Amino acid sequence: MRRLRLLSLAVLALGLLGGWLLRAEEPLDLREHLHEVAPGESFTWHKSPYGHFRSEEGTVVFNTHQVAPQVRGWAGPIETLVALSPQGKITGIKILRHRETPNYVRGMLRREFLKQFLGKDINDPLQVGLDIDGVSRATVSVQALAEGVRVASRRMAGEVLGLEVRAGEEARALAWLRLSALAGLFLYALAGFWLLRRHPRWQRLRDASLLLGLLVLGLWQASPMSVLHVLNLLLLRVSAEPLLWVLLLGVALTVLVSAGRLYCGWLCPFGAVAEFVARLLPGRAWPIERTEEERLRRLKYPLLWLAALAVLLTGRTEFALYEVYVGLFSFSANPALWALVALSVLLNPWAWRLWCRWLCPVGAALALLSRNDPDRYPSSPLCPMGNAPRPEGAECIRCMRCYTPKRPMISRSNEG
């Protein structure tokens, strides 16, 4: 494991340094897109108070990110070109650039979706769920898009067009509900872990946590932990989305408290699917030689390194899109990813949690942070990871089936 950790650090350093040297982001040329949001008008550039174009007819065109830079999605700003009429109505809109995970935001990029902004007044709510329809599985990104358009348009209307802006009450209740549900989920898992250490038979606590993880992180919020969240931060694509920070802090807390992959064993929605399928469908675990199994388990590290290196060097998140939970819970994947999702789910009765054991990049990243503790976690015949006796800490997801509170009183020379 020490070697894997060193190699991982080397890959990270290489990716960051190489990316810094090689990656240069093309500046956006707004002029190229003016005809798409305000056809037939000719514009002149104005620098203040925010950079914008203005036509003889009085239409102003601006990039929302330049006017409201504080508004961000999961992975930084969603730069959107908006045309505003002298009366304060949106007459054109085009998304110029974003770094959101492509699977989640396909619907948001469609022309039909963006059409609903046209004709809206700056004093309209411009809020998802009120006068803007959301996109299933992309709530956070769509909210960031709508907020960017709303805030930037109102600023431009007030400060450039001299219009009266009556800012209405913003609907925050749903955002708070989502945030509270996510924080509550992590608190429940941590409390359950603490209780299960004292009462190892209360396994239903973990089942309930997995079910809640599936419902909240998977089906409702479509926001399972992804390596892209961390890679985006390393690329300085900082998000202002509270949900992301609660997720990252929650996962970090589970590693600190359990010194292991508590997230995988208690919260991961894909882990929940894998485990429930393995329990519901009849099947007998394939006999796999221990050395073969060890080799397969090592696979997840080079896969993680390759993905991280490619993303850090190129800045393109598509290179990490082999995460099955992203495909499954965004309901959007290419045929190869759907095939991987199907195999990873359906083969579980014969190879328990095969995705988590062999391929998962989040599992690999958390495994690198796990502590080896085979005395407390010696494994059991019911181990959901199919661990052999005295497994590596990296392969234990803290299901607590084998938890031994006190170190056994046998000396090492008597073991095995």
Residue 399 found at the interface with ligand SF4 (CB under 6 A): yes
Contact window for ligand SF4 (CB under 6 A) among 194-202, 285-293, 385-393, 408-416: 385-393
Strand partners, 63: 81
% helix, strand, coil for the chain, step of 5? 55, 10, 40
CB of 260 to ligand SF4, least distance (A): 8
Q: Which is nearer to ligand SF4, 141 or 379 (CB)?
A: 379
User: What are the strands of the beta sheet with 43-46, ordered from one edge?
Assistant: 43-46, 52-55, 60-63, 79-84, 90-97
Q: Which is nearer to ligand SF4, 149 or 385 (CB)?
A: 385
Count the site residues for ligand SF4 by CB under 6 A. Answer: 15
- Sequence-ordered list of residues with C-beta below 8 angstroms from that of 375, at least 6 positions apart, any chain: 404, 407, 408
Contact window for ligand SF4 (CB under 6 A) among 51-59, 211-219, 268-276, 384-392: 384-392
Q: What part of residues 321-380 is at the interface with ligand SF4 (CB under 6 A)? A: 377, 379-380
Q: Which is nearer to ligand SF4, 61 or 396 (CB)?
A: 396
CB of 209 to ligand SF4, least distance (A): 14
Q: What is the DSSP string of 333-354?
A: --HHHHHHHHHHHHTTTTSTTH
Residue 264 found at the interface with ligand SF4 (CB under 6 A): no
Member of 128, 311, 359, 400 binding ligand SF4 (CB under 6 A): 400
Member of 108, 157, 227, 397 binding ligand SF4 (CB under 6 A): 397
Backbone phi, then psi, for 215, in 5-degree steps? Answer: -70, -45
CB of 186 to ligand SF4, least distance (A): 19
Member of 148, 323, 391, 394 binding ligand SF4 (CB under 6 A): 391
Rounded Cα distance, 97 and 29, in Å: 11
Rounded Cα distance, 190 and 283, in Å: 32
Rounded Cα distance, 101 and 74, in Å: 8
Q: Which residues sit at the interface with ligand SF4, rule CB under 6 A?
A: 377, 379-380, 383-385, 387, 391, 396-402
